[in-house]
Chains A and B, each alone.
Chain A
Amino acid sequence: MPLLQVANLRKVYGEHTSVDGISFDIEAGKCVALLGPNGAGKTTTLRMLAGLLQPSSGLISFDGGSGVDYRSLLGYLPQSPAFYSWMSGQEYVVFAAKLCGISSSEAGRLAADALEHVGLKDVSRRKIAGYSGGMKQRLGLAQALVHRPRLLLLDEPVSALDPIGRREVMELLRGIREETTIIFSTHVLHDAEEICDDIILMNHGLIAEQGTLSRLRSQYSLPVIRLSTGMDEKALGWLQDLAHRSFVEQSVIYSGSATLNVSDMELARRTILQEAASLDISLLQFEAGSSTLEDLFMKVVGA
C-alpha cells in the first residue's frame, strides 16, 4: 500500500490552470523528486499535499485514508522559509514541536536532537536574525523533522543556496532519506539524480514522465551518434542525406553538425565511417554514445 496516493489532482486559479489533473503514488521509504522548470506547478502541488491549498478537484489519500487531517505526520519546508527573527533557533524548533502536540519536556529533547542532526547545535541559542541562508534552510529542515514525520515535503530545498550551503543540505537529505519518505521539488536535474529513487517530471501542470530513476535512465539512454564535418557543400549535403537512412530514427542537423538517434549502432557507425572515407568527407568529430536524462529533461521542457 503506497503511503501517499494522488488521483487527478487539479488546481485552477480563475482562468489559469496551475496543476492540471496529476496522479501518482508514493511508496513509504522512497525519495521522490518533483522535477520541472519554474512555473510547472511544483509548488502548488506540494502546497496541496501539505494542506495549505484546497485542490480544485482530485483526491489525496494518506496511508489509505482520504480527507483525514494528516498534518501531524507531515514535515514541510517552504521554498523561502520565513522565521520569527526575534526567536532563537532552539525556541523556534521547540515551538514547532509543541504545535504538533508534543509535550514541553519531550519537545525540548526532540528539538535538541533535531538541531544537532542538522548541525545547528552550537548556534541554537542565537537569534535567527543572525543566521545565514544555509543555516536558515537547515533550521527549516530541523523544524520539519522535529516531530519525526512520516512524510517530508521540501519545496526547492537547495535552489537558493550557494554551493557550500547546497552541499550541506544535500548531505543532510542523504541521511534523512534513510529514515523517512521525502518528496522534494527542484528544477535542477542533477539534484534529483544525486539522491532520489523516483522522479516525477512536471511541465505546464502535467506529469510529463514519471518512474524510477533507473528505469528512466535505461529507457532514455538511446544510442546517439554526434558528428560534425567541415562546412563545404559536399559534407553538408551528405549530412542531410544521412538523416534519411533506415537506421536513423530522429535527427537534428545544424550547420555542419548532426545528432542522430539510431536504431542499430553497429550498422550506423560502420556505414557513416565507411561513407565518410569513400566520399572523402572532412569529418571533424565523431562520437557514439547514449542520450541522458538531461536530454529527456530538455525535450520535455521544450527548450
Chain B
Amino acid sequence: MRKVWTLYHKEMLEALRSYKLIWVPVVFMILGIMQPLTTYYMPEILKASGNVPPGMLEGYEMPGAAVVMAQTLGQYGTIGMLILVLGVMNSLAGERSGGTIEMLMVKPVAPAAIVSAKWAAQLTTLIVALGLGVAGAAYYTEQLMGPLSWGRLCAGAGLYGLWLLCAVSLTLLFSAWLRGPAAAFLGLGSAAAMSLAHSLLPSQLGWTPAALTAQSAAIITEGRGGTWGPACSAGVLIVVCLAAASLLIRRNKLPD
C-alpha cells in the first residue's frame, strides 16, 4: 500500500509540475461558468448581434436554475471528456515508449500498483476539476437564476463524474497496450459508442454506464435518479479496465 502511495505521490508531483493539475480545473471552471452566463445574457447577446427578427426574443424563456446546471454537466460530457482523455492517454503509453517503465517494473512493485496509482491520480484531477467547475457554475447560477438544491447537485455531479471516470479508465486501459493518440481515439470512441447504443436502445441498455448522464440530469432537475444499475455497471467496467491494464503492462514487450 505504501508503494501505491509512493507512486501516487509521483503522479501528483508530475501533474503539478506539468501544470496539468492547474489547467484542467481552469478549463472546467471556464466551461462551467460560461453556461449560466451565456444562458442569462442570451437575449442581450442576440440583440447586440443586430439582425434578430422581431418577436423572436419574446418567445425566449429563461430556463430554471436546475436545468442550467444539467446543461453545464452536459458540456463536460464533450469538451471536458476530451480534455480528460487527452490528459490520460500518455500516462502508461508514455512510460512504455519512453522506457521509464523498465526501471519501474524491475522494482518489487506489482503492475496493479502502478496502474491503480495512475488511476487514482487521474481521479484526483477529475474530482478537483469537476468540483471547481460545478462549484463555479452553481455560484453563478444561484446569483443569476435562483436557488439550487445542493444535495441534488452533488448527487448529479457525482454520477456525471462516474461517467467521465469510465472514459478515463477505458483510455488508461488502451494506453497500456497502444500508443497515446490511438488510446485517446479508442477511449473516446468506446465512450461515444456506449452513448450511441444507449440512445438507440434506451430501454434495453438502461443499465449501462452511458445511462449515467441522463440519470444525472434527472436527479438535478427532478430529484429522482432511478436504479443503481448504471452506477454498478460503471464500477464493474472501471475495475475490469484496471485489472486488464495491469495484466497488459506485465505482458508487454519492452522497447529495444
Contact = CB atoms under 8 A, between A and B. Distances in A.
A82 B108 contact: no
A100 B3 CA distance: 8
Interface in A49-97: 50-53, 69, 71-72, 74, 76, 78, 80-84, 86-87, 91, 95-96
A99 B7 contact: yes
Interface string B76-107: 00000000000000000000001110111111
Contacts of A96: 103, 107
A99 B100 contact: no
B116 to A, nearest CB: 14
Interface stretch (B10-18, B22-30, B33-41, B200-208): B10-18
B254 interface: yes
Nearest to B10: A95
Contacts of B13: 86-87, 91
A47 B105 CA distance: 11
A98 interface: yes
Contact of B18 (A53, A69, A76, A86): A86
Contact of A98 (B6, B98, B102, B106): B6
Given A86-B17, A99-B7, A52 B106 contact: yes
Interface of B: 2-3, 6-7, 10, 13-14, 17-18, 98-100, 102-109, 254
A256 B126 CA distance: 78
18 contacts: A50-B106, A51-B106, A52-B254, A71-B108, A78-B99, A82-B100, A82-B103, A83-B100, A84-B14, A86-B14, A86-B17, A91-B13, A95-B6, A96-B103, A98-B2, A98-B3, A99-B6, A101-B108
Interface of A: 47, 50-53, 69, 71-72, 74, 76, 78, 80-84, 86-87, 91, 95-96, 98-101, 140, 143
B108 A72 contact: yes
B227 to A, nearest CB: 42
A53 B6 contact: no
Contacts, number: 61
Nearest to B104: A99
Contact of A84 (B3, B100, B254): B100
- Which of B13, B18, B106 gathers most chain A CB within 10 Å? B106
Contacts of A80: 99
A52 B98 CA distance: 16
B103 A143 contact: yes
Contacts of A47: 254
Nearest to A47: B254
A51 B106 CA distance: 7
A147 B104 CA distance: 14
B106 A71 contact: yes
B108 A76 contact: no
Given A50-B106, A72-B108, 8 more contacts: A52-B106, A71-B106, A76-B103, A76-B106, A82-B98, A87-B10, A91-B13, A101-B3
